[in-house]
Amino acid sequence: MRNAFIARLSTLAARDDRIMLLTGDLGFGVLTDFAKSYPRQFLNVGVAEQNMTGVATGLALGGRTVFTYSIANFPTLRCLEQVRNDAAYHDANVKIVAIGGGFSYGALGMSHHATEDLAILRGIPGITVVSPGCLWEVEEATETLASTPGTCYLRLDKSDAGRTNRPREHFQLGKVRTLRSGRDVTLLATGGILGVTLQAAERLAADGIQARVLSAHTIRPFDAETVFQACRETAGIITVEEHVVDGGLGGLVAETCLEGGVVPRAFHRIGLRAGFVSVVGSQEYLRAHYGMDVAAITARASAMVRGLPQRTPDTKVGLAR
Amino acid sequence: MLTGLTKRGDVDTRALAKSIRIHALRMTSAGGSSHVGAVLSMADILGVLYGTILRVDPQAPNWPDRDRFILSKGHAGAGVYAALAERGFFPAELLRAHCQDGSAFSGHVSHKGVPGVELSTGSLGHGLSVGTGMGYDTKLDGQAFRVFVLVSDGECDEGSTWEAVLFAAHHRLDNVVAIVDYNKIQSLASVSETLELEPFGAKWVSFGWSVVEVKGHDHDALKQALTLVPAEAGRPTVIIAHTTKGKGVSFMENAVLWHYRTAKGEEFERAMAELEDAP
């Protein structure tokens, strides 16, 4: 995803010299071409994310569109107050880009797992929160965010669902995309785990279950209507996110549906419930270990469609550490 | 306006500082808010900045080429509101709303709804980063303005302050001027008891800044230091202003108590009398 991002950003930077890219000393090999091509628009601020975000705000208040770039939680949680007070409160055109969403850097340990960012960022007023699931969504989101006023967050992942766009499809920020129609159950995913979700839908189809697959590339603003429609037309909603289940996509859908008075017949959040991870491994390994792989999604969806009583693992939420 | 200032050109910086002090005492007292000692400490710095140094236009607060002033020690926001009112950015009557229900004039300085406030602060250690970003921004465009950032000594405890210090020197941002209100008293105790900053000037020098130390209530010294910036081409300048917390009210001077205490009743009357009687 990061390559798709930087390729599109380079195109944008060539057209608009007000676009800048700041990195917190990360992006070896990835940002090199951008830095060479647009030296006036590139700045490695060093390992100093608080300052990076403050500097980005200062640049943005002068009329520039400033992308800040780093890994996992460094451009978000490490400098969260600068994101909140400096960038967001001043409606500054700061676009925060985190690579390494979820377990992208699974083997590197919990410091490099971005598994609470969506909940935290969407809690800050005024921030547009985007979590693309495929390379086309990354490219389109990058371009759209560059012209979206205010502070935005772009969460990138090491995995992706390839290219899921239809011919001549137009990207709309804040609009949930329907990638697969179906009326038995809805799988609503955000981020690179969309790829796994699509695979799960294939497997369900082989078992005669037609799953609707929706890509929620934009967490805020959120497309309630498409989700309401899925609530009305399918047997239930399963949200899929490589993120804690608290406050992320699943939480967002739950609060949106309940407040909107459109309650799905069944509902389940697939995501991280085990507290901080206690093991490391590849992204694929950790997804399987923590119940968010093809098998887990398929089993959950299958049980939901058949109306089987489902053990709710939520009972220990909040206790596990 | 207390001092009958003109909207452009030099004004009497001492009269402006005196007005800022009087406003701030009244605002914090009426609003039941804290930090009057922190405002009194920097009132002379603000008087000189807004009286004669800053190229700003009250009629056009968003003039693109204006000098930027950031109050990084946002808890002393009453002082900036007062200075802006005195310079004609908005009517001084509005200051009565400070910290009142429904008011835009928050205890920590906020730009929303207040013309002339460059940056909202309140959490310490933010202002210098944003200011250096502004300095970098205008350097890219051939430098239309200067950036002045007023920081407290206490906020030099913040690591983020030093991130910005490194950055500004590395990028040779000689259009960035930090002013430290070095009153040597923090929230709970003195700086030396809390987290020693000395050798303070040497720290800035070693980080690549030009350091100018001044008496922070001496208007002539402040004016000279703030006029002669950058002190060296190619380096950001820090003006370490040695100040007295609570300056101008005898019983508030050098007293930790008046970081948080609000002057009420007889205390308020005594303080106001001292400020009004000052030259």
**Which domains does chain B possess?**
13-277 (3.40.50.970)
B208 contact A CB<8A: no
pLDDT at A301: 97
Residue among B119, B138, B167 minimizing CB distance to A62:
B138
- Chain B residue with Cα closest to A46: B167
Q: What is the pLDDT of residues B97-132, one digit of tens each?
A: 999 999 999 999 999 999 999 999 999 999 999 999
Q: Where are the beta strands (DSSP E) in A65-139?
A: 65-71, 94-99, 128-130
Q: Say if the Cβ atoms of A58 and B138 lie within 8 Å.
A: no
Chain B positions touching A53 (Cβ under 8 A) are 129
3-state helix, strand, coil in chain A (%, to 5): 40, 20, 40
d(CA A156, CA A151): 16
One-letter amino acid for residue B229 of the chain: V
For the question of an ipTM over 0.90, the answer is yes
Q: Say if the Cβ atoms of A58 and B166 lie within 8 Å.
A: no
pLDDT at A146: 98
Tokens at B170, concatenated: 């590395």
Residue among B119, B122, B133 minimizing CB distance to A55:
B133
Q: Say if the Cβ atoms of B126 and A58 lie within 8 Å.
A: no
pLDDT at B7: 42
What distance in Å separates residue A46's CA from the closest CA in chain B?
8
Mean pLDDT in order along chain B per 10 residues (279 residues): 44 96 95 91 98 96 96 96 97 94 92 96 98 98 93 98 98 98 96 97 98 98 97 97 97 92 94 95
Residue among A40, A45, A54 minimizing CB distance to B130:
A54
- Show Cβ contacts of residue B41 under 8 Å, excluding neighbours closer than 6 positions: B76, B181, B183, B216, B243, B244, B245, B246, B247
The pLDDT of residue A318 is above 80: no
Tokens at B248, concatenated: 């101008």
Short-list A45, A58, A49, CA closest to A94: A58
Q: Say if the Cβ atoms of A58 and B129 lie within 8 Å.
A: yes
Residue among A56, A63, A89 minimizing CB distance to B133:
A56
d(CA A76, CA A43): 18
| Cβ(A92)–Cβ(A148) below 8 Å | no
Q: Say if the Cβ atoms of B122 and A43 lie within 8 Å.
A: no
Short-list A219, A5, A240, A221, CA closest to A99: A5
Chain A positions touching B236 (Cβ under 8 A) are none
d(CA A197, CA B243): 63
Chain B positions touching A62 (Cβ under 8 A) are 133-134, 137-138, 141
pLDDT at B91: 97
Chain B positions touching A64 (Cβ under 8 A) are 137
What distance in Å separates residue A81's CA from the closest CA in chain B?
8
Spacing of C-alpha B39 from chain mean position: 8
Short-list A106, A104, A105, A103, CA closest to A281: A106
Write A106-109 long-range contacts (CB < 8 A, 24+): A106/A280, A106/A281, A106/A282, A106/A283, A106/A285, A106/A286, A107/A280, A107/A281, A107/A282, A108/A280, A109/A280
Chains A and B: how many Cβ contacts under 8 Å? 87
* Confidence label for A28 from pLDDT (cuts 50, 70 and 90): confident
pLDDT at A239: 98
Q: Convert B187-201 to b/e letters by CB count within 10 Å (16 or more is b).
A: eeeebeebeebeebb
pLDDT at B144: 85
Q: Treating both helix axes as pointing N-terminal to C-terminal, what angle do B219-227 and B13-31 enclose, rounded to 10 degrees?
A: 110
Chain A positions touching B125 (Cβ under 8 A) are 50
Residue among A50, A53, A61 minimizing CB distance to B134:
A61
Regarding pTM above 0.90, the answer is yes
Residue among A40, A50, A62 minimizing CB distance to B163:
A50
d(CA A34, CA A210): 44
Mean pLDDT of A239-260: 97
What distance in Å separates residue A87's CA from the closest CA in chain B?
10
Q: Say if the Cβ atoms of B132 and A61 lie within 8 Å.
A: no
B131 contact A CB<8A: yes
Pairing relation of β-strands A152-155 and B176-182? unpaired
Short-list B24, B60, B50, CA closest to B148: B50
Chain B positions touching A43 (Cβ under 8 A) are 136
B132 contact A CB<8A: yes
d(CA B74, CA B78): 9
Tokens at A262, concatenated: 């459109």
Domains in chain A with CATH codes:
2-155 (3.40.50.970), 177-306 (3.40.50.920)
Report the percent of chain A where pLDDT is more than 90.
93
Mean pLDDT of A119-134: 98
Report the percent of chain A where pLDDT is more than 70.
96
What's the length of chain A?
321
Q: Where are the beta strands (DSSP E) in B197-257?
A: 210-215, 237-242
B128 contact A CB<8A: yes
pLDDT at A312: 58
Alpha-carbon distances, residue A75 vs A41, A152, A232, B109, B161 (angstroms)? 19, 12, 39, 26, 17
Q: Is B39 exposed, middle or buried (0-12, 13-18, 19+ CB in 10 A)?
A: buried
B157 contact A CB<8A: no
pLDDT at A310: 64
Among the residues of chain B, which ranges form H helices?
A: 13-31, 36-48, 77-86, 127-140, 159-170, 191-194, 200-206, 219-227, 265-277
Peptide bond into B230 cis (omega under 30): yes
The pLDDT of residue A219 is above 50: yes
Interface with A, mutate which of B63, B130, B155 (most A CBs under 10 A): B130
Q: What angle do CA A116, A120, A122 make, to 5 degrees?
A: 120
* Confidence label for A316 from pLDDT (cuts 50, 70 and 90): very low
d(CA A28, CA A11): 20
What's the length of chain B?
279
Chain B positions touching A40 (Cβ under 8 A) are 140
pLDDT at A308: 74
d(CA A130, CA A218): 4
Residue among A51, A60, A61 minimizing CB distance to B129:
A51
Chain A positions touching B136 (Cβ under 8 A) are 43, 55, 58-59
Tokens at B149, concatenated: 């950032």
Q: How is residue A24 annotated by DSSP?
A: S
d(CA A249, CA A174): 13
| Cβ(B232)–Cβ(B174) below 8 Å | yes
What distance in Å separates residue B75's CA from the closest CA in chain A?
14
Q: What is the pLDDT of residues B54-72, one digit of tens each?
A: 999 999 999 999 999 999 9
What distance in Å separates residue A86's CA from the closest CA in chain B?
8
> What is the DSSP secondary-structure string of A61-86?
HTT-EEEEEEETTTTTTTTHHIIIII
- Show Cβ contacts of residue A305 under 8 Å, excluding neighbours closer than 6 positions: A184, A185, A209, A235, A236
Peptide bond into A309 cis (omega under 30): no
pLDDT at B6: 39
